[in-house]
Amino acid sequence: MAERGAVLFDLDGTLVDSAADLLHAANVLRARRGLEALAMGRFRPFVSRGARAMLGASLPGFAPEDESTLAEFLNVYAAAVAAHSCLFPGVAALLDAIETRGLRWGIVTNKAEGLARPLCEALGLLPRCAVLIGGDSLPQRKPHPMPLLEACRRIDAAPAASLYLGDDPRDIEAAHAAGLRGIAVDWGYFDPAHPPAAWGAQRVISAPLHVLDEPLLRERAV
């Protein structure tokens, strides 16, 4: 019998376009400090790198060890976590296709679980995904393989038969370390100077539905 596979996703920049809500939170902090609003073009490449990277791009002099400013940012963001966030075009159709094929899918993100859950709930993802692992759900986070391996364990999926889609080099590094097939997406928040083709992914896709020709999904086509 063939091993059971699953499709796992990163969240921000892969399934969900959350940049507008994160930029809003960053600009609230800038306004409190007498700074002009930051344009999306300057902010977007940092979204998938985490809150500290976003603050480093948004606030002059921000230090990664500044927990007070980090907490301020996260509190502002949490108050409107899904005000403008939405699924990327094609994601809804992909999730429908995965479920039609009788496969399970899940989310493995470095976003804190307490932020990821309300975002996913607001967008209708939470009742559908088989597993959700946040950045603080386990002792390790991506690029460590633990979150992907734990997600597979929880849904009884074989890592070697599973896919992981992400928009950051850490996603691909984690997939490789955990033994999943790492697929880079090019619609996310990556730095244009370091595009997905340079991450060592087994494949780069430019639209969600392109993943449907992967053997795991093609063999289940109905």
Catalytic residues: 10
Give the C-alpha separation, 116 to 126, whole Å.
Answer: 9
Residue spans of alpha helices (H) in the chain:
19-32, 40-43, 51-58, 67-78, 91-100, 113-122, 146-154, 169-178, 215-218
Give the C-alpha separation, 133 to 4, whole Å.
Answer: 20
Longest dimension (CA), the chain: 63
Give the C-alpha separation, 184 to 172, whole Å.
Answer: 7
């979204």: which residue's tokens? 47
